[in-house]
Amino acid sequence: MFLSPTGVSVGEQTWRWKDVTDLQVLDVPVRSAALRWATRVTTLVAAALNAWGPGGPSMMTAVVHAQDERVETPVVSAAATAYTQREVDLSLGLLSHFVRGSASPSLLTQWWGESRPAGVLHSRDREAVLEGWLTPLM
């Protein structure tokens, strides 16, 4: 799924924000912090022992409602293991603002241009960024 200031693209299909009436993400991998760390440790140990290799990323389902159509398509999760429930709730809240037009995905590119993170953010850091975007919208 690709979000831009003008619209949302999933696979070969693109919709302008003004045509999108709802955007949902289903089957989001959610785990507690302890379970995410246990999964990472288990994966590292198993890979080091050559006993098992990690599988691919989790799959989610994007559901786009635009005008009179409803399109469901599988999308790849960007999380190495899973997201926290808070991160999911904040992300879905932000998507809701994009659909309503009260926020633009330009927030994402503006943040990237200003912060240039050196590596992958931890869940607490991602939650803080999402909260920073959502707070002015409340």
Spatial contact of 9 and 64, defined as CB atoms under 8 Å apart = no
pLDDT digits (tens, 9 = 90+) for 90-135: 999 999 999 999 999 999 989 989 998 888 888 899 999 999 999 9
Tell me the per-residue pLDDT of 28-61, one tens digit each, with 9 for 90 and over.
Answer: 988 755 544 444 444 444 445 555 455 667 889 9
Q: Which of 13-22, 48-57, 73-82 shows the lowest mean pLDDT across its residues?
A: 48-57
Q: Is the pTM of this model over 0.85?
A: no
Element (DSSP H or E) covering residue 60: strand 59-66
pLDDT at 1: 87
7-10 β-sheet, strand order: 2-3, 7-10, 13-16
Q: Is 114 exposed, middle or buried (0-12, 13-18, 19+ CB in 10 A)?
A: exposed
Please list, in sequence order, all residues whose beta carbon lies within 8 angstroms of the beta carbon of residue 84, skipping any fewer than 6 positions away: 30, 31, 32, 33, 36, 123, 127
Question: In terms of residues, how long is the chain?
Answer: 138
In the predicted model, what is the mean pLDDT of residues 75-88?
A: 84
